[in-house]
Amino acid sequence: MLRARARWASREASYWRRMFIRISREKLTPLQKRLLVEARRHEGSGLTITALARTVSAELGIPLSTAKWNLRRLRDLGLIDGGSRRARRPYSLSPAGRLLADELLRSSDADAPGWEVSGGKKGGGPGRTGPSALRGRG
């Protein structure tokens, strides 16, 4: 009886893990996925979220405001933990953020088409993210 419950619990946990990854892949933008992977790569370096935004902005050639805006969304979703304006402390990925980032890296999504970043062109394209995407074109 105990083994049957353990198997059921294991299948249940596996199901929810797969669903979390599936929903996250569907709902996060390509840039947010890329930023999550970059956050995983830089995790443990002692960077704050703002310093991480500066770093990935320079590495990916995207505007700092876009990096900050999208990292804030990842923090709001509970994928990244970090300080607030008052408490400066290094960021870290939450267990859910680490799981998703590792899955994205493992599945080669990091090298998939659509992960390219436009280089911060004004006006952007259909894949824009950040404050300007909310206001619409023009």
Predicted TM-score (pTM) of the model is: 0.72
Locate the domains of the chain by residue range. 29-109
Q: What is the CATH number of domain 29-109?
A: 1.10.10.10
Where are the alpha helices (H) located in 28-63, listed in sequence order?
A: 30-42, 49-60
The pLDDT-based confidence of 82 (bands split at 50, 70, 90) is confident
Check residue 11 and give its pLDDT: 86
| pLDDT of 122 higher than 50 | no
